Amino acid sequence: MRKAILILMTAAFAVTGAWAQPGGPEGHGGGHGHGRGKGGPGGPGGIDFLHPGMLKDLGLSEEQQKRFKDQKLALQKKKIQIHSEKAVLELDLQNVLSTAPVKEAEALKIAEKIAEADKKALLLRVESMSRFLAGLTPEQHRKVMERQAEMREKRKAWREEMSRGWKRGGENGEGGEGPRRGGDRK
C-alpha cells in the first residue's frame, strides 16, 4: 500500500507541477497542440499545429478557410473545457494526497478521472485532425504530411543538439553540469 501511495503522490506532483508551468503542461503560452511531443488537450496534431504560414502555403479555398476556422474554434472551446476539468481533478488529487491519512481509494478514483480526461483530449485531437485532413485536396494533404515530417526532423535535430550540449557541459564545453539555466545561478 505504501508503494501505491508513493507512486500516486509522485505522479500527482509531477503532473500538477507540469500544469503549473506558464502556458500549461507543454510549457508554451496559450496551450498545446502545435505539433510538439506527447501533448495534453489538443496536443500534437490537432488542427492547432497549422500556423498561419502553413495555411497560406496550402492555398485553402474560401470555403476551406471558413470550415477550418469553425473547426478550430470548436476545438479550442473543447480544449478549454478538458483542460479545466483536468486541472480541477489534479487539484483534488493533490489535496487528497496531502491530507493524512491518505485515502487511497479516493486518490485512485480521481486518478482514473484524470486518465479519462487525457483520453478525451487524445480523441479530440484525432477527431479534429481527421476532419481537417478530410477537407483537403490530395495535394494539400501531401503538403501537410511533408511539413509535419520536416518539423519532426527539426525537433529531432534540436533534441539531439540539446542532449549533446547537456552532456558536454553547455555551449563552450566547460564543466560537467550541463547548460546553465536561469541566469548566473550555480
Q: How far is 88 from 117, CA to CA, in rounded Å?
A: 11
pLDDT at 166: 74
Pair (85, 66) in one structural domain: yes
Look at the chain and report how many structural domains it folds into: 2
pLDDT at 33: 41
Pair (131, 143) in one structural domain: no
Pair (69, 89) in one structural domain: yes
pLDDT at 121: 94
Pair (3, 82) in one structural domain: yes
Pair (75, 161) in one structural domain: no
pLDDT at 148: 86
Q: How far is 114 from 69, CA to CA, in rounded Å?
A: 29
Report residues of the chain scoring pLDDT below 50.
Answer: 15-45, 175, 185-186
For the chain, report the end-to-end CA distance as a whole number of angstroms: 39
pLDDT at 165: 78
As given in the structure block, the three cell numbers for residue 101 are 491519512
The answer to whether position 31 is within a domain reads no
